[in-house]
Structure 1
Amino acid sequence: MQILKSSDYKLYSKFIENLAKKLTKFYYSKLNKPFKVSNKLRSGYDPVTTADKAFERFIRNEIKKKFPNHQIIGEEFGHKKTKSDYSWVIDPIDGTRSFVIGNPTWSNLISLNYQGNPVIGLANFPILKKFYFNTSFNSAHVSENGKKKRIFVNQKATYSNMKLSAAFHGSLSLNKQKKIPQILKRMQFPCSDALSYSHFAEGKLDVVIQCGNKIWDIHALIPIIEAAKGVVSTWKNDDAKKAGNIICSANNSLHKKMLKILKPVSS
C-alpha cells in the first residue's frame, strides 16, 4: 500500500542512499580504530561502544540539517519529539556484539516512519561495502561496489525446500525450544542480525525468525522486506512495527505454515 506520494519516496530514498555512503566514509575516516565498550545492564550483557554513540550523533546531525522539524528516535539518545508526522528510528550499530569482536556483519539501521508506519528503510553494512534500501512501497534495492540492483524474495519457496535462519537471542528457554522441533531441525543457516533480514529480501533466505527485536532493530527492515514482496509479522501475526518476536517468509502460504508451527511458543 502506497503511503507517501511518489515525489516524497524519491526525496527520502535519495537522502538515505546518500546517507549510506556518508556513513561508510565516516566509519573509515573516524571510527575504524580502537573503541571503548561498556555494558548497559547490571544483570546480563548489552554492550554499547563509543562508536555506537558517534554513529548516532552523526546520523541525527544529518537528519537535522535536512529535515529539522522531524522527530528522531535513537537507541542511544532517546526521542526528540516534535509535532511532525515524520519520525526517524535509528539503530546506530545493529549487531554491537559482532562489532565488538570484529565480525563484519554489523550495520547502521535507519527507518523513516510516517504517522508511525515505517515507509523508507536503510540497512548499511560499512565493512561489507553494501547497503539495502527501498525507493517506494514496492521497489527494494541492494547497492554493492557502486552497483545498484533491484531485489526480490524467493516467492517460489515452499516448506520442504526453504532456507531457514533463526536465532532466539536467549529469549526462548530450552523448554520452549523443545516445543518447536520442526524449526530446530531446519535451522541450517546462520542468523546475523539485520544481515539475515537483508539476505531474505535478496532471496538468499526464505524464512527468518528472531526473538526480542526492538523497534530500531526491525523498523528499517520492514519497508525493505515488503518492497521485495516478502511477508513480515510478529509470531502472533500482529503488525511487525510492534517489534518483539519477528518472522518473515517468502510468501503467504509459507508464512501461515510457519506461524502455525510457532504457535506453541508465541503466546
Structure 2
Amino acid sequence: MAPELVAAAEEAADIAGRFIMPFFRSGLVVDGKADASPVTEADRGAEIKLREFLAARFPEHGIWGEEFGADRADAEWVWLLDPIDGTRAFITGRPLFTTLISLMHRGRPVLGIIDQPATRERWMGVAGQRTRFSGPFGGVVGARPCAALTEAELGCTAPDIFAAEQLAGFERLRGACKRATWGGDAYGYGLVALGSLDVVCEGTLKPWDWAALQPVVAGAGGCLTDWAGRELGFESGGDVVALGDPALLPEVVSLLA
C-alpha cells in the first residue's frame, strides 16, 4: 500500500473528527431519511469535507458516500465514506458512533479506518498488514482464540437491523453463544480486533458500512464474511459476520443458513 494513501486516509479521519465533534451533545436538529434512519447536519457536512479533500488529493479516484451517493464508482480505486456510522448513538449522546473510511481497489477493500473522535480511538487496517490501534484507554490488537461458541461473546447493533427472513438464523447463532451485547455499530468490530468480542453478526449493511471493517478485522487475525462465509465485495448483500477466531466460521455459517 502506497504510504500517501495511508496518510491521506488518516488525514481524512482527522478532518471528519474536527468537523463532527462540535455537534456532539449539542442539541442539533435530526432529520429522517427515506428509510426512516436519522441524519444530521454533522453527517452531511462531514461527508462534504471528506469528498472535497479526497477529490482534490486523488482526482482520478471514485468516491461513494452514504449521504451523497457515488461519483465514478466504477473507477479502479474508490473511497467509501460513512461520516457517522451509528447516528442513533451520536444523537443520543453516546460515544459509540464512528467515522468509517475505506479504499476499494477493483471492488475489494484494501484499507479501512474505524475512527471514534470523542474517545480518540482509531483502528487502521491495511491489506496484508497488522492492524494498528491507538487510544487513551489501552487495548492491544489481536483477535482472541475461542474454542467454542458456548464461550463466545456476541455483539450486534440491534434486533431491528435484520430483515424478517434473517431473524431465525440470527436467533440460532445468539442461542449458541455465551452472551449477547447490544449496541455499538462499527465500534463492535473494533472490539473484535482487540479481542473483547468474539462474534459480531448483522444484516442489511451497505458497502460503506462494512468496507472499512474488513481490513481491520483481518489484520487482527479475524475474518469478515457474508453469512455464507464468502468474501465481501460490491456484489454482496448486507449480511455480515465478523469472527475473532476464523475456526468458528463453519459452525456459524451452518447456524445462519
Give the TM-score normalised by structure 2.
0.88
Q: Determine the structure 1 residue equivalent to 2:55.
A: 64
- RMSD of aligned alpha carbons: 2.5
1:245 equivalent among 223, 233, 239: 239
Q: Identical aligned pairs, as a percentage?
A: 26
Which deviations, in whole Å up to 9, do the C-alpha atoms of 1:224-246 show, x marking residues without a partner?
A: 11111111111122222324111
Whether 2:16 is the aligned partner of 1:26: answer no
* Partner residue of 2:149 out of 155, 159, 166: 159
Query: Are positions 1:108 and 2:99 aligned together?
Result: yes
Please tell me whether residue 225 in structure 1 is matched to residue 214 in structure 2. Answer: no
Maintained 8 Å contact 2:150/2:176: no
Match of 1:260 in 2: 254
Letter in 2 for 1:13: V
CA contact (8 A) 2:161 2:202 kept: no
User: Counterparts of 1:202 and 1:223 in 2: how far apart (Å)?
Assistant: 14
Judge which range, 213-222 or 170-179, deviates more: 170-179
Distance 1:11 1:132 in 2: 18
Range moving further from structure 2, 85-94 or 173-182: 173-182
| Structure 1 contact 75–91 (Cα < 8 Å) conserved | yes
Unaligned stretches of 5+ residues in structure 2: none
Distance 2:169 2:243 in 1: 22
TM-score, normalised with respect to structure 1? 0.85
The answer for the alignment partner of 2:64 in structure 1 is 73
* CA distance in 1 between partners of 2:166 and 2:213 (Å): 30
Report SS of the residue matched to 1:128: coil
Q: Deviations for 1:144-178, whole angstroms, at most 9, x for unmatched residues?
A: 1499x861211344323211113433424499438
**Distance in structure 2 (CA, Å) of the matches to 1:124 and 1:16:** 11
- Give the conservation status (yes or no) of the 8 Å contact 1:122–1:221: yes
Corresponding residue for residue 39 of structure 1: 32
Change (3 A) 1:257 1:39: same
**Judging changes above 3 Å, is the alpha-carbon distance between structure 1 residues 185 and 87 closer, same or farther for their aligned structure 2 residues?**
same
Task: Give ranges in structure 1 of 5+ residues lacking alignment.
Answer: 1-5
- Paired with 1:73 and 1:180, the residues of 2 have a C-alpha distance of 33
| Partner SS, residue 160 of structure 1 | helix
